[in-house]
Structure 1
Amino acid sequence: MMASYNYDEFSTSDYDFDRIDGVDLGGKAKDFTLETTDGEIRRLLDFSGEFLVLEMGSRTCPLFQSRRNIMQPLEREFSNLSFAVLYVREAHPGSNIPGHKSFEDKATCARQLKEADGETRTVFIDTFEGLAHQAYGSMPNAVFIINKNGCVVFRSDWNNPSSTRKALRELVEGRPITARSFFRPAVPTVAIRTMKNAGKGSAADFFKGLPFLVWTNVFKRNWRLLFKKPAQYSGETIC
């Protein structure tokens, strides 16, 4: 476990973009007992839908905030599936929304995601130490699709909602997944608003690391993915 999981200032050294640990594609998803923003204590994998679509996010993550207006309608489009957000550490903390110093800090931010930002999906609050987040690879806006056998049939280190939607469509139609999730930058207006809400320090840290992030994700990661054959797991996958 990282000693500095809840950082005060974003740095590219907080993440390993070349080697993403956590649950493997086709492997068994990790289960945790967590509190939701509604005050319920629930198992992460105790979902009623045919599949669980689990997205990592925080209020200060421009990518997550950029995806929400696409991901939330998917919950209505695929009404027989379960959708949830795992609230993790603040991606780009600032003076208004600083890094968490306690579980209550994290719970407060998670509730504000629902109340102030209007998130409609179930929001699970990770532990202060980020145990669930680290088990799922520690990336700020990863997404996982998990079947009823508890197997990860689709995962992307960075959520691309168009690819996630294609994967869901293939699953519900009984076909193996062929979707490849290329990295897509945050919507500029959403990114600016997100960092403004986070407060002083958020944007400065983000822009300092931007050249590295662009090279690592837009170019290097997408280039590798272009030549990588999809694993093609299905809803019937057993792990």
Structure 2
Amino acid sequence: MVENVMPELGITELAELGGRAFTVLESDGTMSVRDPFPTGQPTVLSFVSYSCPYCRSGATLLDELQSIETGRRLVASVYTEEAHPGENIPQTHSSDARIANARRYKDDFAVKRPIIVDSVTQPSISRTFQAGPNSVMLFDGDGVIQFYSKWLTLDVVRMIEHLLQSSARTDRSAGGTPRSFEFAGILKSNYDAEWYLAELMKNGPSSVIDVLDLSSPRDSKGLIK
């Protein structure tokens, strides 16, 4: 299913983050504090939180991009505020709590790519780009957004793989022209309410209270608007 509404994105360039330092859980599991966005190479960013069922089920989808020969690029995830906090996975109101949840996510699902822990006190990456958990963006070598999807699915990973390969070919060619922005308006066609509620219950009972309020208007995901 394809959604016809183009999202209203926030800032569309990585440069707007101003070279800020963030806590990063590196690919090998070590932790560092640095500017995680190198210049001059494409960057793939997904946004994740442990309490998002789709972020759990698709935790390793982007990892395969690291083994595909598409030239130099960064593939990473931004760990942001909890999508559906509950008693077992509470909202993160401190940097230490968010780092702990990000570490738990990386370890429990054997995530190989770096995880950038989003800021709790300063303007966050997710709010800068108006990106929620399970969304994904591709930036070109100049740090300008080229692709955005609200959902990270296997089909979306294939789209990104194609764009990265195309970018590598363009970079090797003289006089290449920039690609235009692309939006994947893909909705979850395999939405399973029973599975989703069962996954939310793992977060704790309070995470499903609003979802079970069937009198409220729903969005395209079946969730309360």
Structure 2 length-normalised TM: 0.73
**CA RMSD, aligned part only?**
3.2
- Counting only pairs closer than 5 Å after superposition, residues 1-239 of structure 1 correspond to structure 2 as 20-24=8-12, 27=13, 29-31=15-17, 32-37=20-25, 38-46=30-38, 50-78=41-69, 80=71, 81-129=73-121, 131-173=124-166, 174=169, 176=179, 180-184=184-188, 188=192, 191-192=196-197, 194-208=199-213, 212-214=218-220
What is the match of residue 224 of structure 1? none
Q: Which amino acid aligns with 1:183?
A: L
What is the match of residue 235 of structure 1? none
Secondary structure of residue in 1 paired with 2:87: coil
Deviation for aligned residue 1:51: 1.5
Q: Quick one: distance in 2 between partners of 1:23 and 1:120?
A: 28
Question: Does the Cα contact within 8 Å between 2:61 and 2:157 map onto a contact in 1?
Answer: no
Secondary structure of residue in 1 paired with 2:208: helix
Q: Quick one: distance in 2 between partners of 1:43 and 1:169?
A: 27
The structure-2 alpha-carbon separation of the partners of 1:74 and 1:136, relative to structure 1 and needing over 3 Å to count, comes to: same
The structure-2 alpha-carbon separation of the partners of 1:101 and 1:66, relative to structure 1 and needing over 3 Å to count, comes to: same
Structure 2 residue runs of 5 or longer lacking an equivalent are 171-178
Q: Select the structure that is richer in helix.
A: 1
The structure-2 alpha-carbon separation of the partners of 1:64 and 1:136, relative to structure 1 and needing over 3 Å to count, comes to: same
Q: Quick one: distance in 1 between partners of 2:15 and 2:81?
A: 20
Q: Quick one: distance in 2 between partners of 1:111 and 1:215?
A: 28
Secondary structure of residue in 2 paired with 1:107: helix
What is the match of residue 14 of structure 1? none
Deviation for aligned residue 1:42: 1.8
Secondary structure of residue in 1 paired with 2:220: helix
Q: Which amino acid aligns with 2:42?
A: F
The structure-2 alpha-carbon separation of the partners of 1:52 and 1:19, relative to structure 1 and needing over 3 Å to count, comes to: closer
Q: Kindly tell me the number of residue pairs found equivalent between the two proteins.
A: 198
The structure-2 alpha-carbon separation of the partners of 1:200 and 1:79, relative to structure 1 and needing over 3 Å to count, comes to: farther
Q: Judge which range, 200-209 or 36-45, deviates more.
A: 200-209
Q: Which has the larger radius of gyration?
A: 2
Deviation for aligned residue 1:87: 0.3
Question: Does the Cα contact within 8 Å between 1:142 and 1:155 map onto a contact in 2?
Answer: yes
Q: Quick one: distance in 1 between partners of 2:109 and 2:197?
A: 15
Deviation for aligned residue 1:133: 1.4
Question: Does the Cα contact within 8 Å between 2:6 and 2:183 map onto a contact in 1?
Answer: no
Structure 1 residue runs of 5 or longer lacking an equivalent are 1-16, 218-239
The structure-2 alpha-carbon separation of the partners of 1:190 and 1:84, relative to structure 1 and needing over 3 Å to count, comes to: farther
The structure-2 alpha-carbon separation of the partners of 1:44 and 1:187, relative to structure 1 and needing over 3 Å to count, comes to: farther
